[in-house]
């Protein structure tokens, strides 16, 4: 991905599909890339499709609860990279709100701590830009009031 995708990110959610092994195998590559641009932001990992809908399509009689074989699996990526792991079903909503709530909390805490040098630089640039806009507005107001006098 292009570096601009990571611009001002304050948290990252890694999502993989438990029914498609390649999505899990891609996580280390995505993590390494993220850390090149945002080395300190908090991350969490989501194992999606725990409801087993792909299995249910083949075996209609299965209940529409979480597939317990999925939630009992060990996914080492999250543990290795010190991330919380959420077993989620986007189709039935299992743990979706919880995962995003925790990601938002982590992002807000990270933003408030502002320990990342890039965040500090960006905040300073934004302040400078705001100061310049305020000065320009003041100059315009001064010019406009002089023109009407």
Q: Say if pTM beats, i.e. exceeds, 0.85.
A: no
Q: Which fold has domain 3-113?
A: Rossmann fold (3.40.50)
Task: Give backbone dihedrals phi and psi of 10, rounded to 5 degrees, phi first.
Answer: -115, -5
So what's the pLDDT on residue 50?
Answer: 87
More confident residue, 114 or 79: 79
Listed by start position, the domains of the chain span 3-113, 115-149
Tell me if 46 sits within 8 A of 102, measured CB to CB: no
Residue 65 and residue 34 in contact, taking contact as beta carbons nearer than 8 Å: no
pLDDT recorded at residue 23: 94
Is pLDDT of 138 > 90? no
pLDDT at residue 115 is higher than 60: yes
| pLDDT bracket for residue 134 (50, 70, 90) | confident
List the beta bridge partners of residue 85. 45
Residues contacting 100, CB < 8 A, separation 6+: 13
Structural tokens at position 120: 């500090």
């Amino acid at each position: 991905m292009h570096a601009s995708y990571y611009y001002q990110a304050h948290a990252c959610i890694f999502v993989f599909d438990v029914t498609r092994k390649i999505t899990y195998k891609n996580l280390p590559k995505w993590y390494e890339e993220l850390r090149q641009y945002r080395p300190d932001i908090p991350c969490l990992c989501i194992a999606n499709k725990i409801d087993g809908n792909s299995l249910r399509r083949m075996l209609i009689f299965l209940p529409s609860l979480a597939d317990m074989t999925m939630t009992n699996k060990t996914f080492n990526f999250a543990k290795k990279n010190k991330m919380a792991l959420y077993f989620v079903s986007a189709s039935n909503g299992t743990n979706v709100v919880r995962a995003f709530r925790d990601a938002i909390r982590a992002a807000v805490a990270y933003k408030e701590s502002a320990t990342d040098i890039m965040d500090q630089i960006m905040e300073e640039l934004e302040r400078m830009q705001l100061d310049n806009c305020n000065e320009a507005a003041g100059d315009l107001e001064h010019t406009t009031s002089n023109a009407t006098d």
